[in-house]
């Protein structure tokens, strides 16, 4: 039987090509001037189909954890499956709560103070390192992450398509119309958060903002069915944008 040998360089190119089509996943960081986030780490997950189509602009799923939550722990397999199926890339920052700045509204839950710019630098770093184009942001946040997500969309609405915010604390009230779709929710037993979430919902409705409100069983937890509903919400928004 005749054997076929590839030249070494060709063999290397084939192996590299196959490897380069693999998904990309890991933890990286940027530096900030915030005392609690001098080294701000973030988790990223980039499906192979996104890496293969670098000429296209892909949507970003920004997963913002609970208070001082770790991005790599917050991004469950259900988020990764969604990213694979729908062609999203995922970025999830591991913000650390800077408690002494809470009263002055300069903790990370307030993007206009510093954390929003930090998140945009994270996005730019991922874009540059992987040669990607990003279209619009879809933000998913729970608790403190819900606060950040709502405030970020009100701060930079031109970058955002949709936000799912579950059980946000800290009152967030829109003061103008923004062309962003919102899905806000809370647990039925999370009594301290219910009026906060409902205040956002009522004001958004008054301003003509596209917003949906839902309650789920339980207290201050993130139910898996809330995540499923959120991803279905994102899919519907994305399908209309295509």
Q: Which positions ≥6 away from 48 have C-beta within 8 Å? A: 21, 22, 23
What's the pLDDT at 84?
97
Residue 175 pLDDT greater than 80, yes or no: yes
What's the pLDDT at 91?
98
What's the pLDDT at 100?
85
Residue 10 pLDDT greater than 90, yes or no: no
Query: Could you tell me if residue 115 is inside a domain?
Result: yes
Query: For all residues of the chain together, what is the average pLDDT?
Result: 91
* pLDDT (average), residues 94-102: 91
Cα–Cα distances (Å) from 158 to 6, 53, 101, in that order, read 51, 24, 27
* pLDDT (average), residues 185-189: 98
Query: Could you tell me if residue 35 is inside a domain?
Result: yes
Query: Could you tell me if residue 199 is inside a domain?
Result: yes
**Domain of 69, in residue numbers:** 23-241
Query: Could you tell me if residue 5 is inside a domain?
Result: no
Q: How confident is the model at residue 174 (pLDDT cuts 50, 70, 90)?
A: very high
The CA angle 204-210-212, to the nearest 5 degrees, is 85
Query: Could you tell me if residue 2 is inside a domain?
Result: no
Q: Confirm whether pTM is higher than 0.85.
A: yes
Residue 35 pLDDT greater than 60, yes or no: yes
What's the pLDDT at 21?
58
Query: Could you tell me if residue 17 is inside a domain?
Result: no
Query: Could you tell me if residue 11 is inside a domain?
Result: no
Residue 231 pLDDT greater than 70, yes or no: yes
Cα–Cα distances (Å) from 42 to 29, 31, 165, 203, 206, in that order, read 6, 11, 20, 32, 36
Query: Could you tell me if residue 189 is inside a domain?
Result: yes
Based on C-alpha coordinates, what's the Rg of the chain? Answer: 20
The count of domains in the chain is 1
Domain holding 94: CATH number?
A: 3.40.50.1820
What's the pLDDT at 101?
85
Per 3-state DSSP, what percentage of the chain is helix, strand, and coil (rounded to 5)?
Answer: 45, 25, 35
Residue 125 pLDDT greater than 60, yes or no: yes
* DSSP-derived secondary structure letter, 190: -
Residue 12 pLDDT greater than 80, yes or no: no
Residue 13 pLDDT greater than 80, yes or no: no
């Amino acid at each position: 039987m005749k054997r076929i040998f590839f030249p070494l360089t060709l063999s290397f190119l084939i192996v590299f090509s196959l490897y380069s089509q693999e998904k990309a996943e890991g933890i990286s960081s940027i530096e900030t001037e915030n005392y609690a986030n001098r080294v701000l780490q973030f988790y990223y997950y980039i499906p192979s189909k996104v890496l293969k189509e670098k000429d296209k602009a892909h949507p970003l799923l920004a997963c913002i954890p609970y208070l001082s939550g770790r991005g790599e722990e917050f991004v469950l397999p259900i988020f990764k499956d969604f990213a694979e199926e729908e062609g999203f890339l995922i970025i999830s920052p591991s913000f650390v709560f800077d408690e002494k700045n809470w009263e002055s509204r300069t903790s990370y839950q307030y993007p206009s103070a510093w954390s929003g710019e930090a998140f945009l630098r994270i996005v730019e770093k991922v874009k540059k390192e992987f040669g990607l184009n990003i279209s619009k942001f879809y933000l998913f946040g729970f608790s403190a992450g819900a606060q950040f997500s709502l405030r970020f969309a009100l701060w930079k609405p031109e970058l955002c398509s949709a936000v799912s915010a579950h059980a946000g604390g800290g009152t967030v009230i829109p003061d103008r119309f923004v062309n962003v779709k919102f899905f806000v929710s809370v647990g039925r037993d999370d009594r301290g958060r219910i009026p906060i979430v409902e205040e956002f919902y009522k004001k958004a409705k008054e301003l003509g903002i596209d917003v949906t409100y839902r309650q789920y069983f339980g207290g201050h937890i993130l139910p898996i069915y809330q995540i499923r509903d959120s991803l279905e919400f994102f899919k519907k928004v994305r399908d209309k944008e295509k």
